[in-house]
Structure 1
Amino acid sequence: MSQLANYISDKRQQKPILSMTHVVYGYPTVKDSLDWMATLLEAGADFIEVQFPFSDPVADGPTIVAACHGALHNQKPSVEECLTDIGKLARDFPESRIVLMSYLNPMYHFGLEKLVKRCAEENILGLILPDLPYEQAGDLRTYCDAHGIDPVWLVTPVTPKDRLAFLAKEARGFLYCVARSGVTGNSNHNGEKQQSLDEYLAEINSHANAPMGVGFGIREKAHVDAITGKADVAIVGSALLDAYNKGGKEEGLKLFNSLFD
Structure 2
Amino acid sequence: MAEVTAAVVPAPSASGRVPGRAGGIGIVVEHHWRWYRRNWRATVVSSVLQPLLFLLAFGVGFGALVSGSGRVEVATGGVGYLVWLAPALLAMSAVQSAAFESTYPVLSGFKWQRVYHAMAAGPLSAAQIGLGHLTWIALKMFASGAVYVIVIAVFGGVTGPGVAVSLVAATFTGTAVAALVMAFAATVENEGSAFTGLFRFVVIPMTLFSGTFFPVDRLPAVVRPLAWVSPLWHGTELARSAALGRWQPLAAAGHVAFLLVLLVIGAVLVARQFRRRLTP
Normalising by the smaller structure, the TM-score range is under 0.3
| The structure with more radius of gyration | 2
**Greater strand percent: which structure?**
1
Using the size of structure 2 for normalisation, the TM-score is 0.24
